[in-house]
A = this chain, B = another copy of it.
Amino acid sequence: MNRIYLDHAATTPMRPEVLEAMLPYLREQYGNPSSIYTEGREARKALDRARDRIAKVLGASSPREIIFTSGGSEADNLAIKGAAFALKNKGNHIITSAIEHHAVYDTCRYLEKHGFKVTLVPVDSYGIVDPAAVEAALTPETILVSIMHANNEIGTIQPIAEISKILRERGILFHTDAVQTVGHIPVDVDELGVDMLSLSAHKFYGPKGVGALYVRKGIRLHPLIHGGGQEQNRRAGTENVAGIVGMAEALVLAAGEMGEEAPRQRELRDRLIQGILARIPHTRLNGHPEKRLPGNVSVCFEYIEGEALLLNLDMQGIAASSGSACTSGSLEPSHVLLALGLPHEIAHGSLRLTLGRGTTAAEIDAVLEVLPGIVEKLRQMSPLYDANAGCKAH
């Protein structure tokens, strides 16, 4: 059976060109970039080139503004802990949104144990942060704001440039988690006006376990990983040379194709959304209809639970995701869906389908073929669903 992979927000298949670019560094080019002899200098050159390519795509003013990390989570942790501890004499207040990824959310929660105060700015029912709400949350103690560029579950794209205008005026540090946007929609650090920006290679057809943090020149950060002097003393550890080279290759390729690929995915996305809403009653779209990632479809089916849905889809050859609590073993469904104002029992019935480079119209149609039957089968099994009335039983 041909599988249909619709979980590109979780991870993407690595492009063959990326592997090709990495292979020399997994074979004969094994030098340590910190070494001064030939092998080391070759590795250093490869790092420098990768840094340069990434800086250019992001519109950074210097490659020195790119710090390589082990992924998006580390980049988020470095940005937030690094800035908070570096600025703790200036203030102790951090603002973030209610729908951040756990790498931001849990990091902020951790900082609360270290004496920081955290304000979670709410979102509207589309999942959008109101820049005025950020402004209203500012206090004289505010040292850092972290608002994600686009949400990983519901795909909503935030008004980062508007928020940055407010913060720039006041000289408050602004970080954005752009793990879901880099390589998919245009991301330019100057246009966004951010001071720090996280990205992760495996979200744009690069390798897993490698990412980067953009840090605008002049910003002080405490390192998260202390040790050797790598990454200008900002991130110790022998560099994952092959992974970094792969990340740069993947990013350059993604940036080059974006102009064609984003509209293509948007069209497929809308076809899928409309198909689902037309065929399956008691279904809601999560997130904003237009201000959303080109590849993101997120819906809630009433009366059923997400994990059961995913398993059924998997058996039909379709890989998808859910904000269902049962995929993680907790009882609380996704904090993102709850932040939209969805009731718990509906948030449990969420399905996320995220499209990618390889996604075809035929795949979308195959999903639309299969999905209604699965939903109906589970609803028939659900004590909350009255099949005949076609509505809630109690």
Contact = CB atoms under 8 A, between A and B. Distances in A.
Interface of A: 3, 5, 7, 10-14, 16, 19, 22, 26-28, 30-32, 34-40, 69-74, 76-77, 101-104, 106-107, 109-110, 200, 202, 207-210, 222-229, 236-243, 307, 310-311, 313-314, 318-321, 327-328
Given A107-B227, A236-B73, A10 B34 contact: yes
Given A73-B238, A102-B236, 6 more contacts: A11-B31, A19-B26, A37-B313, A103-B236, A208-B240, A208-B241
Contacts of A209: 70, 209-210, 237-243
A71 B3 contact: no
Nearest to A41: B314
A36 to B, nearest CB: 6
A102 B39 contact: no
A14 B38 contact: no
B207 A26 contact: yes
A129 B287 CA distance: 60
A11 B200 contact: no
A103 B233 CA distance: 11
B37 A320 contact: yes
B224 A225 contact: yes
Given A225-B77, A310-B37, A26 B7 contact: no
B36 A238 contact: no
Contacts of A37: 7, 310-311, 313-314, 318-320
Contacts of A14: 26-27, 30
23 contacts: A7-B39, A13-B27, A14-B26, A14-B27, A14-B30, A22-B26, A31-B319, A36-B307, A36-B327, A37-B319, A72-B237, A72-B238, A102-B227, A102-B229, A103-B226, A103-B228, A103-B236, A109-B226, A110-B222, A110-B226, A208-B241, A209-B209, A209-B210
Contacts of A109: 226
A224 B310 CA distance: 32
A77 B202 CA distance: 24
A358 B76 CA distance: 40
B19 A35 contact: no
A36 B311 contact: yes
A70 B73 CA distance: 12
Contacts of A242: 207-209
A347 B307 CA distance: 62
A200 B228 CA distance: 14
B11 A30 contact: yes
Nearest to A5: B39
A30 B13 contact: yes
A35 B8 CA distance: 11
Contacts of A311: 36-37
Contacts of A200: 238
A366 to B, nearest CB: 15
A14 B243 CA distance: 14
Contact of A38 (B77, B106, B243, B314): B314
Contacts of A237: 70-74, 103, 209
A306 to B, nearest CB: 10
Contacts of A39: 3, 5, 7, 319
B12 A30 contact: yes
Given A38-B314, A70-B74, A106 B208 contact: no
A3 B38 contact: yes
A39 B1 CA distance: 13
Nearest to A224: B224
